[in-house]
Amino acid sequence: MLSIDHIYKQYGAQIVYEDASLFIGPGDRIGLVGANGTGKTTLFRMITGEETPDSGKIRFDPHVSSGMLSQESQCRLGITVREEMQAAFPEADDAQNKIENLAAKLEFAGGHEQKEALRQLSQAQIDLEMQGTDTMEQRIGRVLHGLGFPTEALDRLTDTFSGGWQMRIAMAKLLLREPDVLLLDEPTNHLDAKAVKWLQGYIAEYPGAVFVISHEPKFLDEVCYTIVELEGGKLSEYTGNFSQYQHQKEENAKAQSSAYDRQQKEIERAQGFIDRFGAKASKASAAKSREKAIERMDKIEAPQANVRGISLQFPEAPQSSAEPIRLREASKSYGEKEVLKKIDMRLKRGDRLALMGPNGAGKSTLLKILAGYETADTGEREEGRGVVIGYFAQHQAEALEPNRSVLDETLHDLIQRPEPLARNLLGRLLIRGEAVYKPINVLSGGERSRVALAKFLLRPANLLLLDEPTNHLDASSREVLIEALKGFKGTIVLASHDTPFVRAVATESYTLDDGVLSEVRTALVSPSGGKGKKGK
C-alpha cells in the first residue's frame, strides 16, 4: 500500500533520516513516537509530497490516496461549515453540477441530441448515487457532532470560530474525505475528553490505514497496535500499543546493558592479557590473536543515559497574600454569546486547582481574566498584595521572537541572565550544545513549545495560570513540567484535557460548563497520594 524505502534526509548538519524504512498496509494503526524535533512531522510531509527525501523512495500502490491533519491545519474562511464539509465530496459536487448542466441542456435539445443528453443524465445520476449523497448529510452530521459541534453550527461562517474549533472543522473535513492513508499529527490538541473518546471510536472503524503522531500515551494505547520509534534517524517497529512498546523498550535496554557489560568485561580480560604478555615472545602469538579478536567484535553500543541534569524548581518569588485573586459576579460576552456568567471564585494561597469542562465552556477566558489579560464586562476582580502571575497560554510558542536565538529568547527580559541554569534547563528539554544558538524561526513546532516552556520555568511567580500547557509537548518535556509544578510552593490554576497531568499536579477541581462555575470544589488525588479538601 505504502512503502518507505531507505530514505535519507538532512537539514544543514542535522541528519534527520538515515536509511529509514517502513511499510504501511491496509487497515494498519501505527503510532509514530520520538522526541520533539527529531523529524516526525517531516516524515508525514514526505509522505504527502510536501517534502522529498534526499535519497531513497516513498512508493504508493496505484490509486492509493493520503490526507494529513497537521498541527497548523486550518479550514477555509468566508464560507459556512456546511459548505466546507461538502467540499470533502468533490466527485459528488462534480456529478451534481453535471446533472444541472444536462437538465438545462434538455430544455432546448431535440432528436438525437436529446436522447444523448438523457443517457448522460441517467449516468450522472448513477454516479451521484454511487457517491452516497443520500447519506452524505448524515455522515457530515455524525462527524461534526462527534467533534462537539451543535447542529446549528452547520450554517455558521467558519470565521466565527476560534482557532481550536477551526482545527476541528479541518479535521472533520479530512475524516469525511476518507483517504486510504490517514495521517494525524497531534490530533488530540484542542479536543476535550468527549471528542477524544469519539475520535478513538471513529479510528477503530476507519476503513483505511491510520498513521498518528501523538504525545498522549492513553490515546496511543487506544488506537494503535504498532508503534514506530524515530531515534537517531532510524525507524524501529514495535508490535503492540504504547504501553507494550514502553515495556519492550525497557526490556531491550536491560538486555543491551547486560550484553554491553559482558562484552566490556571480555574486552578488558583480553586487553589485560595483551598488556601483560604482548612483549613476551612466547606469548606474542596469543596476544596478537586476542587483539584481532577484539577488532573483529561487533561492538555493542553503550546504553544511553537518562539525561536529567538539574533538579527543577521555579525561581523564588515573594509570598503572596492569603487570597491572591477574588472574582465577584464576573461575566464576559463576545458579541451575543455570554461566555462567563456571574463567576464567583476565591483563590487561596497554595491552591492547586484544575478547571474542568468541555471545550467552549469558557475555561480559557476565565484564565485570561484571572491573569488580567482580559477584563470582565461586569463584576469585580480583586488582586491581593505581592501577587506575581505566571501565565502560560494555549499558544505560548507563537509569542516567541522568531529572529532571536533559543538562548537569547529564553533569557530575554530577565534582569539577571542565569545562562548556566538556562542551558541546563534547555538540556533537560533536549535542546543541547550548538542548538541553543539556532534562531527560533528554524525550529519545529515541538521545539518551539519546549523553548516557550523553558522561558516560562525561568520566570519567578507565586501564582501560575496554565492553559493546556502539555499541548505540543513530548513525553519527556511533559515530565519536566510535572516535576517543576510538583515542587512549586505557590498557587496553581490550570485547564487541561490531559487527565494524568491534571491528577499529577492538581488536588481540587472546579467544573465550568456553559459559562457557569460549580459552587463546590471537587477533591482530586493529590501529588502525594492524599485527598484534596472540599469547599468553596
Question: What pLDDT does 470 receive?
Answer: 87
Task: Determine contact, residues 217/242, Cβ cutoff 8 Å.
Answer: yes
Residue type for 126, please?
A: I
pTM of the predicted protein model: 0.68
All 3 cell numbers of residue 278? 604482548
φ/ψ region of 449 (left if φ > 0, alpha if ψ in -120 to 50, else beta) reads: alpha
φ/ψ region of 360 (left if φ > 0, alpha if ψ in -120 to 50, else beta) reads: left
How many angstroms separate the CA atoms of 358 and 351, rounded? 22
Q: How many residues does the chain have?
A: 536
> Coil, strand or helix: which one is 227?
strand
Question: What pLDDT does 331 receive?
Answer: 94
User: DSSP per residue over 228-241, as a string?
Assistant: EEEETTEEEEEES-
Helices (H) and strands (E) in the chain, counts: 16, 19
pLDDT by 10-residue block (mean), the chain, 536 residues? 92 88 95 87 92 93 90 84 86 62 65 70 66 74 94 90 87 94 90 90 95 91 95 92 91 88 90 80 80 87 57 73 94 89 93 88 92 93 93 88 92 80 84 87 85 88 92 80 88 90 91 86 57 45
From 319, 202, 406, select the one nearest 212 (Cα to Cα): 202
Phi, psi (5° rounding) for residue 183? -105, 120
Any idea where the domains of the chain sit in the sequence? 2-25+37-60, 66-89+149-178, 244-296, 325-523
How many angstroms separate the CA atoms of 340 and 332, rounded? 5
How many angstroms separate the CA atoms of 534 and 536, rounded? 7
Residues 6+ apart with CB under 8 A from 312: 425, 428, 457, 480, 483, 484, 487
How many alpha carbons lie under 13 Å from residue 295 in its C-beta half-sphere?
A: 7
In the beta sheet, which residues pair with residue 157?
Answer: 80
Q: Per DSSP, which regions of 348-434 are E strands?
A: 352-356, 378-383, 389-392
How many angstroms separate the CA atoms of 510 and 357, rounded? 9
Question: What pLDDT does 140 receive?
Answer: 92
Question: What pLDDT does 104 receive?
Answer: 66
All 3 cell numbers of residue 121? 443524465
Question: What pLDDT does 520 receive?
Answer: 75
C-alpha distances out from residue 68 to 45, 170, 178, 218, 320, Å: 8, 10, 11, 22, 47
All 3 cell numbers of residue 288? 596478537
User: DSSP per residue over 514-536, as a string?
Assistant: TTEE-SS-EE-B-TTSSB-----
How many angstroms separate the CA atoms of 283 and 131, rounded? 83
Task: Please state at what angle helix 445-457 crosses helix 475-486, rounded to 10 degrees.
Answer: 10
The CATH code of the domain at 325-523 is 3.40.50.300
How many angstroms separate the CA atoms of 145 and 147, rounded? 5
